[in-house]
A and B are shown apart, each in its own frame.
Chain A
């Protein structure tokens, strides 16, 4: 920060670079006759002592909390705060006097109509002396996102998972040596809804956009009141003692209420326009399970290969929920290199929950469904113009001319063929949803995943060609009495 003393003409050159600036305007007593002007003001620029950024990833919202030391004189002290070319929300700027606790009072705040992005505070001081003040405000343009790199070992029994946070500063302001805190999760949205929930629903739609924004700010502010900053720690872990390289900065994770706050060790300077990626955690050797899944509603009409692991201590994880982000999955290819497997967006994974990575179709596993037989049974006809129904039977076929089929069952036999050309046994889980009234007949120990979805599980040995036989009976027309699936075993031959 440039410490030039300037007159109170707008310090344009200064503002272009040091954007959010605070000027203490020193009124020169009128009885000093050395200058011609009747009311000459002199400004000093108290520099930032510390700055803390709390960045949300679910909204474009960052709380800036900065402290400065200002010298006050006894009486009324005007302060000018300006933020040209930044994305600071003017209504959010607040001044708090931290030290001394007594003797200083904020009298008023003025937003001059002719100077946008600027305000004046008048602070009443009872004594001459230095004071520490805190200025907080919201800015947009600073964002963070999470991403992950997963590298499976050669035989795919364990996985190394690294999590990163990437902070991007497009706010127009360079916050030097800032303590960076990242708010994980959808807290902002939850709080906003909680806020909105307190006003009648009929009024929600009437809210102006600004009001919504104010609600959001208020919500964020409340949530942060819970998470009062730990003592600001200017010392980074960058020392680099003898013979040891400096360690990457730790990212301290604290769970607070319904959400998590990541605090980056030490301080960071991210020039405007730049972004910076830091490692937030590293888990090596997390146990990995491989499962093949057929779930057309989730993964499309294909058998996909999944890596399954858990965000828990056993997996050397579980210290933090995993924020939404992209996972890039690699595998040690056994030839001193990596194979790129997949890229996938994951949704927030709470501590203890599963991490499921879809690697797509495995060309070494062939998955085919063949319909082998179709037959109709329990055919009912209705005699025209009457409420009379009759069952068409093999024994008692009736030549009833004036009747039409109104209800029947389709009995469809299928073979699910699975061929495993990988070198290891594979676990396959199949979910098939059916519409309408269906009986699922098989001896494969099927389970109902939900009222209309049948789940089958099987293991296929290396080189094995497994055939799963099953039959579905669709109850159609007037035979449909339900809209669900029931399971049945094959009748003994």
Chain B
């Protein structure tokens, strides 16, 4: 078919990224502007989503070439192809009688989303070329569905990849690589959003935690000195917990809990959702579940005594008292965290200096601060709370943190 160059443009508008091999009939004649255009179809498309900032599309096409110089026109109307990112490679050894091909130059016409490769072929024949480019508006996100067992000791975690194709380009049967999990081969249509199950982790052991930290979570009821006690499911991303093959990407987690009856599936209830942060291997993903109503923690500062060392230099001896009641029918472990800068701010003006501290003998948390979670500025202790008695009575557990803030002024 003999068509002039103009139809190339209108074709390019419908096929967003079009590759045209323009075969000059006879370059020496005045007819050189009339071109034979072949439309090589995509043989293979791969979408690389492993880089979160940029989506790389790789496509392979078989381009018929004549001996000598050939022009191959690549245009991408209405799509966000980064023209400088385009890598053009001729693949060797796959096609029969494939010519040797060299890329001589690339030309960029004015005011057009297009470029023209000038290729030289050793003989007439078909060459398989691979074109890689960064394509905008083809985005990925990850989300999770977590279904906890009825006793909240484990959960089934399903990881989904969501691909949103606003790139104005259709991919029929594209290979998709998310950077984790297996590779997919799915068609992705215009403006389509595709959600793919990447992996399903069965029966991941979890810990349900109850925590209080006046600096982070504040008081639930300041007048009654009651701390807010948020609950979390903690998923440890390691082999021991059936995970740990890769980092867990950031994404929204919808949390469900299985019913308690004969058919747990039927009784499944939605517990809420939270953002799961990017979780490297051996780190924990903490999913917020809400505030516990049945674990009551009253916090008071029982002792605040400044002892002058010299001049304006003081030590502050503090005892923080926690009165804890567990009204739940099962035992609970509570994580008690104190930020020491925050604590200092409650008893004296903040001077911005690091807190130097020493634990005192009146501290009741038996195992001392959790060494993995504690730092120079923040201490975390654990308190084991017995279940409430069958008649609903809770034993009141009293813990004390005895700490001296040293060398303050």
Contact = CB atoms under 8 A, between A and B. Distances in A.
B48 A339 contact: yes
A405 B104 contact: no
Contacts of B107: 270, 274-277
Interface string B307-333: 011111100000000000000000000
A419 B84 contact: no
Contacts of A274: 107-110
A370 interface: yes
B375 A370 contact: yes
A49 B163 CA distance: 57
Interface in B115-166: 119-123, 132, 134
A338 B48 contact: yes
Contact of B108 (A275, A335, A390, A405): A275
Interface stretch (A52-60, A86-94, A207-215, A244-252): A244-252
A276 to B, nearest CB: 5
A interface, over-half SS: strand
A313 B100 CA distance: 28
Nearest to A170: B110
Contacts of A273: 109-111
Interface stretch (B1-9, B188-196, B266-274, B279-287): B279-287
Given A333-B177, A403-B312, A419-B280, A341 B105 contact: no
A159 to B, nearest CB: 14
B278 interface: yes
Contacts of A240: 67-69, 120, 122
B215 interface: no
Contacts of A245: 99-102, 119-122
B35 interface: no
A297 interface: no
Contact of A335 (B177, B309, B375): B177
Contacts of B278: 363
A243 interface: yes
Contact of A246 (B69, B377, B406): B69
A299 interface: no
A346 to B, nearest CB: 14
Interface string B90-113: 000000000111111111111100
Given A340-B51, A370-B375, A403-B312, A364 B247 contact: yes
B313 A339 contact: no
Interface stretch (A17-25, A391-399, A431-439): A391-399
B355 A328 contact: no
Contacts of B280: 363-364, 366, 419, 421
A484 interface: no
A339 B311 contact: no
Interface in A96-120: none
A374 interface: yes
**Contact size range, B:** 35 or more
B54 interface: yes
A339 B56 contact: yes
Nearest to B312: A404
A376 interface: yes
A379 B314 CA distance: 12
A408 B407 CA distance: 10
B105 A277 contact: yes
Given A274-B108, A371-B376, A375-B356, A399 B308 contact: yes
A271 to B, nearest CB: 8
B283 A366 contact: yes
Contact of A381 (B99, B106, B310): B310
B50 interface: yes
Nearest to A272: B110
A167 B312 CA distance: 72
A378 to B, nearest CB: 11
Closest 8 CB pairs of A and B: A273-B110, A403-B311, A374-B354, A246-B120, A245-B120, A340-B56, A371-B376, A376-B407
Given A330-B56, A413-B376, 9 more contacts: A147-B84, A240-B69, A274-B107, A337-B177, A338-B58, A363-B280, A376-B356, A381-B310, A381-B313
Interface of B: 46, 48, 50-51, 54, 56, 58, 67-69, 84-85, 87, 99-111, 119-123, 132, 134, 177, 183, 247, 278, 280-283, 308-313, 353-356, 375-377, 406-407, 409
Interface of A: 147, 149, 151, 166, 168, 238, 240, 243-249, 270, 272-279, 326, 328, 330, 333, 335, 337-341, 343, 363-364, 366, 370-376, 379, 381, 383, 390, 392, 397-405, 408, 410, 412-413, 419, 421, 465
30 contacts: A240-B122, A245-B100, A246-B69, A248-B102, A248-B103, A249-B105, A273-B111, A274-B107, A274-B109, A275-B107, A275-B108, A277-B107, A277-B108, A328-B85, A330-B132, A333-B50, A337-B48, A338-B87, A339-B48, A366-B283, A373-B376, A376-B356, A376-B406, A381-B313, A402-B311, A404-B311, A404-B312, A405-B409, A412-B376, A419-B281
